[in-house]
Amino acid sequence: MLGEGIIKGMVETARNFFGSYHDPARFVTIQYPEQRVPLKENNRNFPFLVFDGADTEKGLRCVACKICEKECPPQCIYIVPERDAHGKLQKHPKIFDIDISTCMSCQICVEVCPFDAIKMDQEFELSTGDRFSNLLLHKQDLAKPNDYYHKIHPTEATLVDAQLAKERQLAAQRKAGAGAAPASPPKHAPEKLVPVG
């Protein structure tokens, strides 16, 4: 019949209207700043730097090898390595900046890092009144403890810790049997971490 579809549609919208007052399934809005949905473990947006221990500077895993800087497609990473008094390169970044206004959250820096020093963060409330200086994150903004990494990505962090422990153990063995034949492969192949979601 002509007009049947209109009546059906109106019944449906009426059910939506009244259902939104008593049926939680029809009223799914989360009042964001007051209510929050817990983030999924695999949620990620911008990179941060992991440090071990308590000291932000000393504990940084980053050795300023600049691989991530070279690989970064939008070139949002800027690294200057530390140098000692003689001008010798140190395994430590002096400057480590990420311009999150340019970063596209591709995670390539995380994939290429041989030292598991850079990981993806879950922080998303980054809006600011100054889009030039406040969106350029410096080393002290980026450095976050390993505990934080465990908090946001527990599965992945556990895998990474196990991997690092194994490597450290291998390195210690190598140091112990220094005169003997090189037992283990010296190079570190970053294993693909398969995060469990």
Interface residues with another protein (CB under 8 A) are: 1-2, 6, 9-10, 12-14, 16-17, 19-21, 26-29, 31
Q: Which is nearer to another protein, 1 or 176 (CB)?
A: 1
Closest CA to 97 of 120, 124, 68: 68
Kindly state the smallest distance separating residue 134's Cβ from another protein, in Å.
Answer: 25
Contact 160, 167 (CB under 8 A): no
Q: Which is nearer to another protein, 12 or 55 (CB)?
A: 12
Q: Which is nearer to another protein, 2 or 189 (CB)?
A: 2
Contact 97, 138 (CB under 8 A): yes
What end-to-end distance do the CA atoms of the chain give, in Å? 50
Find the helix or strand (DSSP H, E) in which 141 lies.
helix 139-142
Q: Which is nearer to another protein, 20 or 134 (CB)?
A: 20
Tokens of 46: 């911008």
60 DSSP 8-state letter:
B
Kindly state the smallest distance separating residue 37's Cβ from another protein, in Å.
Answer: 15
Contact 77, 117 (CB under 8 A): no
Kindly state the smallest distance separating residue 130's Cβ from another protein, in Å.
Answer: 24
d(CA 2, CA 129): 55
Kindly state the smallest distance separating residue 93's Cβ from another protein, in Å.
Answer: 43
Kindly state the smallest distance separating residue 14's Cβ from another protein, in Å.
Answer: 7
Other C-beta atoms lying within 10 Å of the C-beta of residue 163: 15
Q: Which is nearer to another protein, 12 or 123 (CB)?
A: 12
3-state secondary structure of 133: coil
Kindly state the smallest distance separating residue 125's Cβ from another protein, in Å.
Answer: 18
Q: Which is nearer to another protein, 7 or 80 (CB)?
A: 7
